Structures are given as structure tokens and as C-alpha cells.
Amino acid sequence: MDYDLVVIGGGPAGILGAATAARKGLKVVLLEKNDKLGKKLAITGGGRCNFTNKSDGETFGRNIITNGKFLYSALNAFTSRHIIELLNTLGVKARLESGGRVFPASGQSADVLKALQKHLKDSGVEVRYNSGVRQLLSSDGQVTGALLSDNTRVKSLSILVATGGASYKQTGSSGDGYQFARQLGHAIIGPRPALVPLVVREGWVLELQGLALDNVMLRVAKGGRVKAEQSGELLFTHFGLSGPAVLNLSSFLTRNFSFPLDLSIDLKPGWSGQQLNKFLQEHLLQNPARSLKNTLSDMLPQRLATAILALAGIDGSRQGAQVTRGEREGLVSALKNLAVTVSGTRSLNEAIVTGGGVSTKEINPSTLESKIIRGLYFAGEVIDVDALTGGYNLQIAFSTGYLSGTSAGNIQ
Ligand SMILES: Cc1cc2nc3c(=O)[nH]c(=O)nc-3n(C[C@H](O)[C@H](O)[C@H](O)COP(=O)(O)OP(=O)(O)OC[C@H]3O[C@@H](n4cnc5c(N)ncnc54)[C@H](O)[C@@H]3O)c2cc1C
């Protein structure tokens, strides 16, 4: 055999897996199809890399959308504290931000990537660039190696597939791992887009493109009961809606709902309808000669105020004193329950993560080894796991990478 372990994919999962295995004394090669490692990692968090989340275990669990229980061993073997400490020893200081999100203090994802590359080098991993794997080789239920795109073979009795999901293909994650796993008898769930912007039918939404709102509540109801809700930031775009609250909601929608569906936006989630009505009434009384449009602009960005008035069918140039009770109630209803029709999502390629992947039913959660083929391991987004925004997805990649690295490979 050429190597004790072959790792396919130089993203966060593959890097951690390869370095961890090499530190046990294994001869490890990491095969990356690009001419550099971590192309996706470099664009995470808007280039700032929200690399983990420091929230407690329970909160962490709530933020994992798919197969949280499966991840239990991995997340315990290598926690947010471990990645913060590892990066710290490699010279990257961490900065804690709201909601437990952790970023490099420098605000540069490049620093995280450089540190991880140093970790690989210090661990003695051989890295081969421009080395795309085409197919896995196996014999009698045991992996035996990998066939590369240039038709060369690399022999090993242990292979870690860390090829990522199938979104942002330009970064190298083009779903190859699903093919490898399927060819060896594994079931693939989906894939479907997760953390993906939503496409909306209403023209007024598109006209608000570029407008961001800090704190809204999004709700999807079925048969009069709320089935999914998310609060946070919303961004209007030229096709519909994006921003953290929308991305998080989308992960539930693409998993459990079919499109089109009705979405309700609560623009003032901190206030009940009654409180809002009272506030409006008092505000209008105090400003009797002021136009309704201007009064409303105290509460909302002007462009949104204009759109809300048009939707409620009220002439915004009317003075506060002229507004009827019915009109005021109509306004409150528009502010608390702004209805839009979601026709679908943007494409899988535009998803921040891929939902679905190699079925967790066929992977041992304690070792991340295939239950079907001996010596085959999986780590990172290629597995059917996904989480909300906040650093959880990268932590999943690091943790599964680490666990697979501790269990994969036998010294020949
Ligand atoms: C725009 C954007 C922003 C994000 N921001 C955050 C964030 O701030 N926080 C967070 O937690 N998560 C974030 N994510 C998600 C996070 O980046 C991924 O979940 C994570 O990178 C998955 O790691 P991975 O190692 O499993 O796969 P990847 O990072 O996708 O790495 C897979 C690697 O495998 C290589 N590869 C694929 N096929 C082959 C092959 N056949 N042969 C050889 N090599 C191959 C690829 O080139 C790639 O280098 C973001 C994602 C995107 C797209």
C-alpha cells in the first residue's frame, strides 16, 4: 500500500482528518482537486469566517437541522473549545460576537486557512494539489485505493471522503463524494439546497431590493398553525428575500414543505398588535398635521413605509388626524402580518450548505466508518447533516474531520 490513509478533499473536514491521522503516526496523503486548499473556507462569513459557535450543548443541538444525534460523538470528541485552542496555538486569536458566534480577531478567513495549512504541514501530511479523484477502488467489501482524473492510482486500505456538498461548485465542492459513495452501495439523501435565499412572487418585494431590516419574525403556517418561524435580519433582493433569518428558515422549508407557500413577515415582533395600534394612535394624535407617510417613516425605512401604505390601500399624503380607526387597524395588520408568496428557492449552487448527502444510517457515528465498506470514512458536508447559520456548519466539518482522523487508518 502507498499510504495508511488517503484523504479526498482539502476543506476544513479533510484538513482536520488528515492532520489528526498523521499525528497518530500514519502516512497520510491529502488529495485536493484545486490548486489550493479551502476555497470555500476562504469565502465563509463574508470573508470573516464564523468558524464555530460557543453556545452550550443544548443550543448547539437546536441549531442542527438534520441528524444532530448522529453528530453527538463527533461534536463531543472535538468541541468549539478545541478548535478555538488549536487555532490559538497556531497564532489565530478568536473574537466572540453576538449569538455565540466566533470569528478570527483579525476578521480574515485567510488567517484561519493559513493556520490550518500550517497544522497540516506540522503534522507531516503530504498534500497533492490538482489531484481530483474520479473513482474509489474496492475489493471484497474493502476499499483499496483511489483512481485520479489523470488515471494514476493511489493505494490504501483507508480512505476518508471529505469532498463537501454540492453548492458553490466553483469552490470545488461539486458533489463528487455522493458519486463515490453511491458506487460503493451507499444511499444518498437529496441533495437539496439549505440556507438558501427565497424567491418571491410579489413585485413590490423586488422593488425594495437592497433594503435590510434588523429584526423581523418570519412565520409559515399550515391549517392556521405556525409550522416554522425564524427571527433576525432580512434582506430584500432582486428575486425575493435573503439575510440570516430567511436562510435559516429556508433549511426547514426545503426539508418539510413544498412550494409555493405563504410566508408572513412580522415587521414589529417586539410589539403585540394591540400595543402597536395604541402607539400608532398616540403618534398620529401628537402629529395631526403631519402626513401619514412621514409619521410611518419614524417606524420604518421610507421605501418600506411607502410600500406598506400602498398594500394597505391608504393614501400616504393624508394627515394623521384624518386616519380612521379601520385604516389604522389595516396598517397594524400589514405591519404584523405582511404576506408574501414564496414560489421556491434559489438553486442548489447558491445554497450556503447542501442538505442531504450520504445517509447517516450507513455510517458508524462513533468512528464515521462506512457500515457497508471496510476502510471507507466520511467527514463534513458530504454526510447528510446540516445546521443553521452561526458557525455550526464549520464546527461540524472540524469535529467530523477530527473524529474520522482518530479512527481511520491502520499502520501497514
Ligand atoms: C458563501 C458561504 C459562506 C459560508 N459561511 C459559513 C460560516 O461563516 N460559518 C460556517 O460554519 N459555515 C459557513 N459556510 C459553510 C461551510 O463553508 C461548509 O459547511 C464547510 O466548508 C464544509 O466543509 P467540508 O470540508 O465538508 O467541505 P468543503 O469546504 O466544501 O471542502 C471540500 C473540498 O473537497 C475538494 N474536492 C471535492 N471533490 C473532490 C475530488 N473529486 N477530488 C479531490 N478533491 C475534491 C474540494 O475542492 C474542496 O476543497 C459557508 C458556505 C458558503 C458557501
What pLDDT score was predicted for residue 410? 58
Query: Is 132 close to ligand 1, i.e. is its CB under 6 Å away?
Result: yes
Determine the distance separating the centroid of ligand 1 and the alpha carbon of 381, expressed in angstroms. 7
Residues 191-205, mean pLDDT to the nearest whole number: 96
Determine the distance separating the centroid of ligand 1 and the alpha carbon of 164, expressed in angstroms. 5
Determine the distance separating the centroid of ligand 1 and the alpha carbon of 48, expressed in angstroms. 15
What pLDDT score was predicted for residue 37? 98
Sheet with strand 126-128: strands edge to edge: 126-128, 28-31, 5-8, 159-161, 376-378
Residue with cell 503530504: 126
Q: What pLDDT, in 10s, does the model give residues 321-352?
A: 888 999 999 999 999 999 999 999 999 999 99
From the number of C-beta atoms within 10 Å of its C-beta (0-12, 13-18, 19+), residue 132 rates as: middle
Query: Is 311 close to ligand 1, i.e. is its CB under 6 Å away?
Result: no
Determine the distance separating the centroid of ligand 1 and the alpha carbon of 300, expressed in angstroms. 37
Q: Which CATH class is domain 5-193+348-407?
A: alpha beta
The full set of domain ranges for the chain reads 5-193+348-407, 197-345
CA 57 – CA 72 distance, rounded (Å): 10
| Atom number in ligand 1 closest to CA 15 | 25
Longest dimension (CA), the chain: 86
The model carries a pTM of: 0.95
Query: Is 18 close to ligand 1, i.e. is its CB under 6 Å away?
Result: no
- DSSP H helical segments within 230-297, as ranges? 244-256, 273-286, 292-296
Determine the distance separating the centroid of ligand 1 and the alpha carbon of 52, expressed in angstroms. 14
Determine the distance separating the centroid of ligand 1 and the alpha carbon of 309, expressed in angstroms. 43
Predicted confidence (pLDDT) at residue 412 exceeds the cutoff of 60: no
Shortest-distance Cα residue to atom 5 of ligand 1: 44
The set of residues, in sequence order, having a beta carbon less than 8 Å from that of 139 and lying 6+ positions away, is none
Among 394, 399, 403, say which to mutate for ligand 1: greatest number of ligand atoms within 8 Å of CB.
Answer: 394
What pLDDT score was predicted for residue 321? 86
- DSSP H helical segments within 184-324, as ranges? 203-207, 244-256, 273-286, 292-296, 302-312
What pLDDT score was predicted for residue 287? 87
Indicate the CATH number for domain 197-345. Answer: 1.10.8
Q: What pLDDT, in 10s, does the model give residues 252-287?
A: 999 989 999 999 999 999 999 999 999 999 988 898
* Average confidence score pLDDT of the chain: 95
Residue 26: band (very low, low, confident or very high) from pLDDT cuts 50, 70, 90:
very high
| Atom number in ligand 1 closest to CA 13 | 25
Q: What pLDDT, in 10s, does the model give residues 123-166?
A: 999 999 999 999 999 999 999 999 999 999 999 999 999 999 99
Q: Are 195 and 246 in contact (CB under 8 A)?
A: no
Q: What pLDDT, in 10s, does the model give residues 280-328?
A: 999 888 988 899 899 888 889 999 999 999 998 888 898 888 889 999 9
Residue 223: band (very low, low, confident or very high) from pLDDT cuts 50, 70, 90:
confident
Among 111, 173, 251, 400, say which to mutate for ligand 1: greatest number of ligand atoms within 8 Å of CB.
Answer: 173
Among 39, 84, 97, 163, say which to mutate for ligand 1: greatest number of ligand atoms within 8 Å of CB.
Answer: 163
H or E stretch at 397: helix 392-407
| Atom number in ligand 1 closest to CA 393 | 11
Determine the distance separating the centroid of ligand 1 and the alpha carbon of 13, expressed in angstroms. 8
